Structure 1
Amino acid sequence: MGNNDGVTHVIDDLQWRDLIALSTDIEALTAELARGPMTLYCGFDPTAPSLHFGHLTQILTVRRLQLAGHRPLALVGGATGLIGDPRETAERTLQPRELVESWVERIRLQIEPLLDFTGEYAARMVNNLDWTDGLSALSFLRDIGKHFRVNKMLAKDAVSARLNSDAGISYTEFSYQILQGMDYLELFRRYGCRLQTGGSDQWGNLTAGTDLIHRIEGASVHLLATPLVVDSNGQKIGKSTGGGNVWLDPEMTSPYAFYQFLFNIEDALVPTFLRRFTFLDREEITALEKETVERPSARAGQRRLAEEVTTLVHGEQETRQAIGASQALFGRGDLSSLTPATLRAALSEAGLAQVPGLGTVAELFRTAGLASSLGDARRTVGEGGAYLNNQRVSDADAVVDASELLHGRWLVLRRGKRTVAGLEVGP
Structure 2
Amino acid sequence: MTDLRAAVEAVLPSVRADLERLVRIPSVSADPARAGDVLASAEAVAELARGAGAAQADVVSAAGGRPAVIASWPAPEGAPTVLLYAHHDVQPTGPRDGWTSDPFEPVEHDGRLFGRGVSDDKAGVATHIGALRAFDGRPPVGVVLFVEGEEEIGSPTFTPFLEAHRDRLSADVIVVADSANWTAEVPALTTSLRGGVDCLVTLRVLEKSVHSGAFGGPVIDALTALTRLLATLHDDKGDVAIAGLVTTDAADVDYPEERFRADAGVLDGVQLMGSGSLLDRLWTRPTASVLAIDAPAVADAANILVHEARAKVSVRIAPDQDPRAALDALEAHLREHVEFGVQIEITEGMLGGGCALPTEGPVVEAAEAALTEAFGVASVRTGMGGSIPFIAEFEQTFPDATVLVTGMGDPLSGPHGLNESLDLAMFAKGCLAETLLLDRLARLPR
Range into which the TM-score falls when normalised by the shorter chain: under 0.3
Q: Counting strand residues as a fraction of each chain, which structure ranks higher? A: 2
State the structure with bigger RCO (CA 8 A, min sep 6), 1 or 2.
2
If the length of structure 2 is used for normalisation, what is the TM-score?
Answer: 0.24
Q: Counting helix residues as a fraction of each chain, which structure ranks higher? A: 1
